[in-house]
Amino acid sequence: AGYLKGAKTFPEAGYLKGAKTFPELFQWFASPGVLPVVNFLNEYGQILIGISLILGILVRYSSISGVLMMALYYFAVLQFPKIGANSYIVDDHVIYALALLVLFAMRAGRAYGLEGKIIKLE
C-alpha cells in the first residue's frame, strides 16, 4: 500500500483535516510544515512494516509501529460517540491492530521468520 500511495498522489491533507476525533492533532499533522514528514512516514512506514512482517525480521518493532499506525488511521475515521458510515467502534483497523499485538506477544519473527534463523546462527 505504501508503494502505491507513493506512486500516485494520495490526499493525506484532506483525510487528516476531516478527522472528527482528536481534530487538533490531525490538523497539526496536516499543517504545511508537518505534512511532508507525515507523508514520508506513512508511505515508507507501510513499506518497511510490510517487509519486516513478511520476512520475519524485527517483528516486535514493526508490529508496535503497525499498531500505532492503525490507531492513528482508526481515530481519523472514528466519529465518537456517534456511529456513522465507516465509523464503527470495531472496524478493520482494530482487527489489524489486534492481529499485530498477537504477533508481538508470540514473538512471531523468532518462531517463523528469518529472525529466528539469524539468532540460531549466533
Does pTM surpass 0.85?
no
Check pLDDT > 60 for residue 17: yes
**Position 107 confidence tier, pLDDT thresholds 50, 70, 90:** confident
Task: Report the mean per-residue pLDDT for the chain.
Answer: 84
Structural domain count, the chain: 1
What is the radius of gyration, based on Cα positions, of the chain?
16
pLDDT of residue 116: 84
Structural domain for 114, as ranges: 2-121
Nearest to 38 by CA among 60, 20, 14: 14
Percent of the chain with pLDDT over 90: 48
In the block, which residue shows the cell 512506514?
Answer: 45
Dig out the grid coordinates for 105 from the structure.
506477544
